Structure 1
Amino acid sequence: MKKSNSRYALTPLRIAMVFALGAIPPLVLAQENPASTVAREHYEIPAAPLNTMLLNIARQSGRVISFEPTLVAAYQGRAVHGNMTVEQAIAACLQGTELVLDVTANGTLTVTSAPQVLNVAPTNITATDAQLPSIAVNGSALSDDQLYYNPSNSSGVSRTDTPLKQTAQSVDVLSAKLLQDRQVTNLSDALKSSAGVQQTVGNRGNVSYTIRGFDVQNTSTNGIPNPGLNGTPIQGVERVEVIKGPDSIMSGSSTPGGTINIVRKAPVKYDLRTLSLEMADYGELKQGLDLGGALNEDRSLSYRLNLSNMKSDNATPDFDGQREVFVAPALAWEGDHTRLTVGAEYSNGRQAGPSSTVAFDGKIQKIPNYRIFRKDDGFRSESKTGYYEFSQDLIDNWSFNSKATYVDQTANLRLWQLFEFNRDGSVPYASPFSALTNTKSWSMQNDIRGKVQTGFIKHKLLIGVDYQHIVTVEDDRQVAGEAGFYPQVNLYNPDSLDSLPKIGAPNYRSSELRTQQRGLILQDQMDIGDRTHVLLAAKKAKWISDGTFYSSDGTSSTSDPAVAEKWVPNFGISFDVTPQMTVYANSLHGFTGSSAIDNTTKKLLPPLTSESKEVGAKFSLLDDTLTLTTAYFELQQNNVPNYDPVIRKTIGTQSQLSKGYDFTLTGELVPGWNIAAGYTHVKFSEPERVEGTASAFSTQPGDSATLWTSYELQEGRYKGLGAGVGIAAFSSVIGGTPSDAYDLPGGASTDLSVFYHAKDYSLTLGVKNIFDRTLYYGSTTSTFIPLREERNARLTFVYNF
């Protein structure tokens, strides 16, 4: 069983829920004060050139809207309809452009060019008055990433601010609004909104992701590759981008499935003060603070400060508690031709062991509490990050751009590993695992970008160089007599697990690994006429890796440097069939150096190479408020290490192939009704796999789907009150190995949410996996099968002061 059967016990969280739900109607009534609202009008302005729409809004509202005619001449505005303020009407027609509305303290309305598409402050204004009640806007820059589920741009693809509609690639953008509505608590939680991404948990607490069936080797933050699957805690995240296909231009080491790019919250020029409080099951309490604004009169110097502190007395299913502290200051300076952002991040936390079970004779076992570790087993981590982003305008339309990030991350793992089980639940063999891993990473990107025109062809050119250096040092523990038979331990008696001895600290250096990645990038994005968009890119990637390995007796061996070098080409083309429909095709390649050794030949394995072919279509529906992307893909990866689960060693390489199709639908169906949905179907094959070795695709469902939809009342006494529902579904798979396989059933998890959005605050109560279904992640062993999230509730209060 999972929790106490006392379903109606008055825990602190349940008491808080009762008060929160009871308080919503009086709060709604209290907000209905006509004297405090801004004047609204009914706008019905069809899509037209942006300058025409702005003039029509100014004429109807009687307000002066300042803008430079040459600045807006190139844009087509979106249709505006509904009852709204003049600020909301302007925000509606600006959606999808690189322009923002600047509202000064005295109410002056000015349309300007955004210095950065994502460098914005949160706002309560919406395009069709769909989300929030009337408010007065005072000094805000508006962005569709804060307002909509379907923002129109991505800075992560091809390193330029390219409209997603013109991007010849399938990209899932999980916007700030979607993350907030779903009460996302971490990166894994955020990625549930992308159907193409699957994840699982390892028996050492590590989370791994796949896109379209292939492992993701590392994430990136603001386009800079991270040394692993880590990144900024959710308090500092603006949005998450899932870039499908081997985007070697951005990451250099992307797998065939794609890349996960995390976008940080950036400094803002206008006052931002947000306080958040969250309460959840197991005594979890989290406080967050998000501050920003200008530091001088002309707003050339701005800042952002994010703080959060989370602590939980316990953790699912009945582990000791968890915690997380996060601090992230950032400063930005913008001159006439120069832009510089510098920032730092610090995080420190503890994560408990994962809920898990085992399988006997091909059947998954139901065990008490789904815990196979000691109560205080867990994973501690500390991360320190420093970064800068610099841009300098050169002559005409050329600029120099530079980014760099330094990461120092330490992970401390202490847990017992149970390798064998008898049918009665007793444990024939258990071993303690204690490891201290430190990773230092230096990453830099430098490029020169420019725009030129040759006849009817417009070029966006980029020439750049990349560099990344990673050093990983690991200390392990090996003490004779600690591993062995523990007859008192039984899976069906969780308390017996706590009789295992405490785990000591690591006692010897086990390895020192070094990896360098260098790249030369050449890229040309061409607009041929008004409807055809072409991407030609190539990267010369070079990998250098070596390492020193130690034994517990003090002996060591150093491997010769492994060097791999290759030109990696990418091609994409998109064509605007109509203003509402774009078709595209691409051929993308990936390349990753390998440090794995073939244990049969004792030779280094060749580098991994990959290729992706994709065709698709993108649709802008309902006056651009709804976006549909469909794609068919074929992926292949070569020289993949072939792992033998019996001897637990690599014995060669194999090829892996997948093909399938997917679609995503995001945006607003009618005013107040938002949706984010996706579906992915994949068929896998593995030629050349040695008989008896583990299948890399064994844990990947062939079908997966995700849905989140919410509706908010737009008029009347309960305006601002709404609800949302989400479903994540997946098909069944085969777990384990060919000699020890079991069925992992498919299933679906359902989330529910009720919320109220007011002028200065919002209140959200969400319940995940409301039907409390027992669902499993994939696993390639029968001695560890991780469980997905059980039912849990979360109450979130956000106050803008």
Structure 2
Amino acid sequence: MGKFYNSLLFAAFFLFSQAAFAQLSLSGKITDSNNQPVPGATIKLIETGTAVSTDQNGSFGFADLKAGSYTFSISYIGFETRNVKFNLSSTQNKLNIVLHEQQNALQDVEITGRKEKSYKNTKSFSGTKTETQLKYVPQSISYVTKEVIDDQQAFRAGEIIKNVSGASTFSYYNNDITLRGFRTSTALINGLRTSTEGWSQPILANVERVEVIKGPASALFANTDPGGTVNTVTKKPLDENRKAISFGTGSFNTYRMSADFTGPMNENKTLLYRLNLAYQNAESFRVLQGGEDFMIAPSISFIPDDKTLVNFDLVYSKSKSRLDRGQPIFGATAGTDLFSTPISFAIGKRNDFLNELNLYVTTSFQRKISDKVTFNASYMKFMYDEDLLEHRTSNRYAVDQAGVSIPTLMEMQTIRRQGKNYNDNISLYLVSDFKTGPLEHKLVTGYDYLQNQTPVGNSSYNARGYLNAARTGSINSYDPLKSANYAIVGGRPVPNVPHFDLVNPDYSISEISKYINVSTQTEPAKYYVNGIYVQDQIKWGKWRALLALRQEYYTDILAFKKATEKRVEQSALIPRIGVVYSPLEEVSLYGTYTEGYQPQGATTVGAPEIYGGPFDPLISNMYEVGTKTELFQKRLSVNLAFYRIEQNNTLINAGDGVNPDLLRQIGQQRAKGIEVDINGMALSNLSITANFSYSEAKITKSTIAGEQGSILPNAPKVQGGLWAKYNFLIPELKGIGLGAGANYTGKRNTLSTILTLPEYTVFTGALYYSVDKFKLSANLNNVFNKTHWVGGYDFNRLYPGAPRNFMMSVGYTF
């Protein structure tokens, strides 16, 4: 009998052990407070780090789990993140969770980061100075989120402009783009003005999103361009741990690495950090171009209590490259075939270099004075350092002794330049929430100070022209009537810098010390801006209004730090009015009127005896109406805008027979058009970003014959783009995703009246595979190898787009 009971006990123990160690499956469903499924929600198993997403029905599942206690983190855009403990057993294997919409208080200054993981962005600071849902901002704001940047494997800001309606490239240079037909150079970082002195485009590794505020934004951000303003929002610390590294390689001998770490630094999450790193070494499809880039960007947020928020950012970004002056087609006339010169062709020497350093520090502070009043302060110090050597043309052919052009040789010059530029930006404002009867107010009153300074000590060292007869100096240009003043050999004047042979290019090292150089000190310069403003966001039922007024004082200092120092002052009063009506929670209709300004050049304004005047600043205004709609349970946004922008007070030559420099203020440009932006998820596994614009940007007033009515440079009438990413849900293709896109840009005028850039369509594709914590990405750009030009000045400065190229990367999250 004892043996029987022992056998029975053994059998029971065996069965219990098998049950305890059996592999179980868990399934469940995620719904919202209205019992509707939430597709695309992320369920993360904390103990293993494994994460899955819900399907179209909100369902999810985990396989191969052992019985026991687990913790799950469930998150989705617009909903509060939930952490749930669950005891899994053979009889308890269903987990259903209800997510509640996020009701968190909006920030007045961005201290903590965006948790959304979508092509759609819900809120922004750039439209109103405070965190506001985009659908309630009475102005079009386009954007590109870090998720789009990651899926397209973009490294520089210029690579993502194609995702913004009404935006096109003017050149390869920093922030040199066209917005709604107007060339723009205004750049913001987290809503603070930054220097645009540099050449290289910014690196995107530390970027949360790039926002484009359409139309004049002077009511909030001082003097801005009429077409729009680019605001780069950097990644901020999160109160949850996220870590990711990525390694990539691709065409043009590209090697790339990036890392992004964030999370709390203490147990109560009052101290948060974020660290972004990036490195790239790459060549180019263009001769002697490419370079090396490195960036480190730490960010710290301190939240000691529920009334105080502090953030500190530092960005160190260094670039080693060569200055690309564009593709030249020399000797071109109207009708010259752009394909006659390879897009890879460039002029320069092997020892040319462009070393740039961008270094900036930002501190932001928010303090709740009371439940209804908040004080906000931000300060950014930005430094740009340039070290340049370039061999470039003098934009003309070499000549013989008689002054006849030699079309196979280009006259050259060298530029050796070193210098720094400093930019300071202070922003102080109070946000007050109060009611007057049925009206709810959010009142912003503030002061801005902006200062830009070129210090003493910047210098250039240049060689150009032709040697004089004694070979002791140079003369900038050749005059055949005075050929005796020049050194002549073989029937040609001797160049100071050897000519560049267009037929047999020579890119070998050239030592500039053997030329006759002239060293010149760059004149120190300074300007500063003082601005005070008031803005009231008023809510009444389904109606919202925005009323704003800014007084701007712009001071430019001529002959800075000299005995003849002179201050040239300009000012402007800038209004902004907007109305939003929301008949449904998902739909907003809006209209706005706003103005902008740009000061005239200080040299012009400060010398009325030469140029005439006094002259008013460039004044712009915009009327815009549109709709902002959220579809598919607010996963997809569709924005439609109609606009009319006008810029007045453009200075043009007066045509005075006595004073050829005399100017008069009469010029005017006007742009009107329609734009569409679509961002988000059409399905839980289909992400989309799309844009379309039709615009006519013309010169409407001019005294130059034939200019009135002409289209502004690099302002296509029609352009559009589409990018979509699809993730397979069926088990057989689990983890596989496909990406595809196309971009169209219409014909464009240039700065040359005889050159029109042709239209083009470029296609892109991508393949993704995710397994466990790894993500493999392969992107193919310009699939059909279309030769095209993204921008250009004239036949001597064309900016071709890249031919077919690929990029592959492997990423790991932990």
Structure 1 length-normalised TM: 0.81
Which residue does 1:431 correspond to in 2? 413
Corresponding letter in the other structure for 2:632: L
Corresponding letter in the other structure for 2:426: M
Which residue does 1:71 correspond to in 2? none
Identify the match of residue 511 of structure 1 among 520, 523, 526: 523
- Cα distance in 2, alignment partners of residues 37 and 698 from structure 1: 65
- Contact 2:175/2:187 (<8 A) preserved: no
1:62–1:753 distance in 2 versus 1, CA, 3 Å? closer
Which residue does 1:684 correspond to in 2? 697
1:478–1:746 distance in 2 versus 1, CA, 3 Å? same
Give 1:294 deviation, angstroms: 1.6
- Cα distance in 1, alignment partners of residues 637 and 702 from structure 2: 40
Which residue does 2:554 correspond to in 1? 543
**Pairwise mapping of residues 763-774 of structure 1 onto structure 2 (< 5 A)?**
763-774=776-787
Identify the match of residue 262 of structure 2 among 292, 305, 309: 292
1:722 aligns with 2:692: no
- Cα distance in 1, alignment partners of residues 524 and 711 from structure 2: 27
- Cα distance in 2, alignment partners of residues 256 and 320 from structure 1: 33
Which residue does 1:11 correspond to in 2? none
Corresponding letter in the other structure for 1:698: P
- Contact 2:170/2:790 (<8 A) preserved: yes
Identify the match of residue 752 of structure 1 among 765, 774, 788: 765
1:665 aligns with 2:665: no
Q: Greater CA radius of gyration, 1 or 2?
A: 2
- Contact 1:327/1:347 (<8 A) preserved: yes
Identify the match of residue 292 of structure 2 among 319, 323, 342: 323
Give per-residue Cα distances to partners, 1:69-110, cap 9 Å, x unaligned. xxxxxxxxx998432379999644xx34xx641548999999
1:400 aligns with 2:384: no
Give per-residue Cα distances to partners, 1:646-700, cap 9 Å, x unaligned. x998955521111111111122222211111111111122133242698781222
**Pairwise mapping of residues 478-627 of structure 1 onto structure 2 (< 5 A)?**
478-479=462-463, 480-481=473-474, 485=495, 489-494=500-505, 496-498=506-508, 502=512, 507-529=519-541, 531-548=542-559, 560-598=566-604, 601=611, 605-627=615-637
- Cα distance in 2, alignment partners of residues 199 and 171 from structure 1: 18
**Pairwise mapping of residues 49-198 of structure 1 onto structure 2 (< 5 A)?**
50=33, 81-84=57-60, 91-92=75-76, 95-96=77-78, 100-101=80-81, 103=83, 113=104, 143-144=115-116, 147-198=117-168
**Pairwise mapping of residues 347-358 of structure 1 onto structure 2 (< 5 A)?**
347-354=317-324, 355-358=326-329
Which residue does 2:714 correspond to in 1? 699
1:691–1:36 distance in 2 versus 1, CA, 3 Å? farther
SS in 2 for 1:249: helix
Q: Which moved more, 1:105-114 or 1:245-254?
A: 105-114
Corresponding letter in the other structure for 1:166: Y
Which residue does 2:807 correspond to in 1? 794
Give 1:736 deviation, angstroms: 4.1
- Cα distance in 2, alignment partners of residues 609 and 88 from structure 1: 56
- Cα distance in 2, alignment partners of residues 350 and 604 from structure 1: 44
- Contact 1:622/1:669 (<8 A) preserved: yes
SS in 1 for 2:130: coil
Which residue does 1:379 correspond to in 2? 354
Identify the match of residue 631 of structure 1 among 631, 641, 651: 641
- Cα distance in 2, alignment partners of residues 467 and 53 from structure 1: 51
Which residue does 1:209 correspond to in 2? 177
- Contact 2:123/2:133 (<8 A) preserved: yes
1:672–1:453 distance in 2 versus 1, CA, 3 Å? same
Corresponding letter in the other structure for 1:220: L
- Cα distance in 2, alignment partners of residues 53 and 509 from structure 1: 71
1:267 aligns with 2:260: no
Q: CA RMSD in A?
A: 3.6
- Cα distance in 2, alignment partners of residues 200 and 746 from structure 1: 14
- Contact 2:188/2:232 (<8 A) preserved: yes
- Cα distance in 2, alignment partners of residues 722 and 472 from structure 1: 50
1:445 aligns with 2:451: no
Percent identical pairs in the alignment equals 20
**Pairwise mapping of residues 5-16 of structure 1 onto structure 2 (< 5 A)?**
none
- Contact 2:711/2:749 (<8 A) preserved: no
Give 1:454 deviation, angstroms: 1.8
Give 1:512 deviation, angstroms: 1.7
1:728–1:800 distance in 2 versus 1, CA, 3 Å? same
Corresponding letter in the other structure for 1:143: K
- Contact 1:435/1:506 (<8 A) preserved: no
Give per-residue Cα distances to partners, 1:569-610, cap 9 Å, x unaligned. 100101113333221100011122222544962667531211
Give 1:703 deviation, angstroms: 1.2
Q: Which moved more, 1:520-529 or 1:620-629?
A: 620-629
1:455–1:602 distance in 2 versus 1, CA, 3 Å? closer
1:475 aligns with 2:459: yes
- Cα distance in 2, alignment partners of residues 384 and 677 from structure 1: 34
Which residue does 1:221 correspond to in 2? 189
Structure 1 residues not aligned, in runs of 5+: 1-34, 64-77, 122-141, 551-555
- Contact 2:106/2:131 (<8 A) preserved: no
1:548–1:391 distance in 2 versus 1, CA, 3 Å? same
Give per-residue Cα distances to partners, 1:345-382, cap 9 Å, x unaligned. 11111233435132511213532432133344342211
Which residue does 1:420 correspond to in 2? 396
Give 1:631 deviation, angstroms: 1.0
Q: Which moved more, 1:299-308 or 1:104-113?
A: 104-113
- Cα distance in 1, alignment partners of residues 614 and 388 from structure 2: 29
1:691–1:315 distance in 2 versus 1, CA, 3 Å? same
- Contact 2:355/2:387 (<8 A) preserved: yes
Structure 2 length-normalised TM: 0.79
- Cα distance in 1, alignment partners of residues 291 and 670 from structure 2: 39
- Cα distance in 1, alignment partners of residues 25 and 502 from structure 2: 63
- Contact 1:119/1:268 (<8 A) preserved: no
- Cα distance in 1, alignment partners of residues 35 and 682 from structure 2: 23
1:201–1:62 distance in 2 versus 1, CA, 3 Å? closer
SS in 2 for 1:426: strand
1:762 aligns with 2:775: yes
- Cα distance in 2, alignment partners of residues 260 and 105 from structure 1: 44
- Cα distance in 2, alignment partners of residues 652 and 402 from structure 1: 41
Q: Which moved more, 1:380-389 or 1:649-658?
A: 649-658
1:447–1:719 distance in 2 versus 1, CA, 3 Å? same
Corresponding letter in the other structure for 1:544: T
Corresponding letter in the other structure for 1:412: D
- Contact 1:232/1:262 (<8 A) preserved: no
Which residue does 1:710 correspond to in 2? 725
How many residues align structurally? 706
Give 1:524 deviation, angstroms: 0.5
- Cα distance in 2, alignment partners of residues 579 and 292 from structure 1: 34
Give 1:463 deviation, angstroms: 0.8
- Cα distance in 2, alignment partners of residues 198 and 540 from structure 1: 31
1:304 aligns with 2:274: yes
- Cα distance in 2, alignment partners of residues 374 and 727 from structure 1: 36
- Cα distance in 2, alignment partners of residues 250 and 704 from structure 1: 29
